[in-house]
Homo-oligomer: A and B are copies of this chain.
Amino acid sequence: MSKSTVPTSVIRRLPRYYRFLGELENQGALRISSRELSERMGSTASQIRQDFNCFGCFGQQGYGYNIKELREKIGNILGVNAISPMILLGAGNLGKAIATHIDFEKRGCRLIGIFDSNPDVQGRIIGELEVKSTDLLEEFCKTEKPIAAVLCIPKTETAAAAAQLISYGIRAFWNFSHYDLKFEHSDIIVESVHLGDSLMTLAFGLHKITGESDSGR
C-alpha cells in the first residue's frame, strides 16, 4: 500500500540502494543504520529515511534496517520478480552489446526477441536469440506478447517504429536512439539513455579544466 505518488527522484535512487544492499548482504552484514548507509553511499541519513518512508516503515528504532529484508522489499517495489517480456530492435553494435551485456532477468525483464530490418544481420545469434526480420514483428507480438521494447535503431526510424510497436501492444520503451520520444497524451513509459548527451556533459567538464586559454570573453 504505497503512498499516493512517489517522486521520480526517489524511484531513481532505488536501484542504487538495491545494489549497495546486495553488496552488504554478500559481505555477510545483517543490519545497517541510515547513518552508516549514507556514509557508504555519499548521501545523507535523512534522505535515506525519507526515501524508505515513501513506501512504509522498513526499519526499527534503536536498531536500524535488516539488510536482507530491506533489499527484498526494495526489490519487490522495483518489481525484480515480476518478469516482463521485452524485445530489442536494432542488432547493430549497440543493440548487440545491450543484449549480451545486460542481465535482464536480474532486473525484472526477459529479452525474448531481437529484430533488425537489415537482411545481413538476420539469422545471426546474439546471446541465445536469433535475429529476426522486422517483418515478423506483428505476428511475434501477437503470440508472445512482449510489453516493452529496447530501441537501438537510428534516430530517423525511431518515431515510426515506436508508433508501430504501440499498435502491437508495446507499453514501454528503453530508448537508446538519439530521438526524443514523447507521447503527450498516453501512458506509455519511456526511459531514455542519451549516450551522446552524457559524453557532452563530460566534455563540458573537461573543457573547463583544459580550456582556460580561449573563452570568447
A residues contacting B by CB (< 8 A) are: 1, 11-12, 14-16, 18-19, 41-42, 76-80, 82, 84, 92-94, 96-98, 100-104, 106-109, 147-148, 171-172, 174, 178, 180, 182, 184, 187, 189, 191, 193-211, 214-217
Contacts and interface: CB of A to CB of B under 8 A. Distances in A.
A78 B15 contact: no
Contacts of A15: 194, 196-197, 200-201
A71 to B, nearest CB: 13
Given A42-B182, A107-B196, A202 B172 contact: yes
Contact of A147 (B101, B148, B196, B210): B210
Contacts of A201: 11-12, 14-15, 191
Which 3 pairs from chain A and chain B are nearest by CB? A79-B207, A97-B97, A108-B203
Contacts of A148: 202, 206
A184 B172 CA distance: 37
23 contacts: A12-B197, A14-B201, A15-B196, A15-B197, A15-B201, A19-B196, A19-B197, A77-B204, A79-B204, A79-B207, A80-B203, A82-B210, A94-B97, A98-B195, A102-B196, A108-B206, A109-B199, A109-B202, A148-B206, A172-B206, A174-B202, A189-B206, A191-B198
Given A77-B207, A102-B195, 16 more contacts: A15-B194, A15-B196, A19-B197, A76-B216, A82-B214, A84-B207, A93-B100, A103-B196, A107-B199, A108-B206, A109-B203, A189-B209, A191-B198, A191-B201, A193-B193, A193-B198
A12 B200 CA distance: 9
Contact of A92 (B101, B106, B208): B101
Contact of A97 (B11, B96, B106): B96
A181 to B, nearest CB: 11
B191 A174 contact: no
A208 B5 CA distance: 12
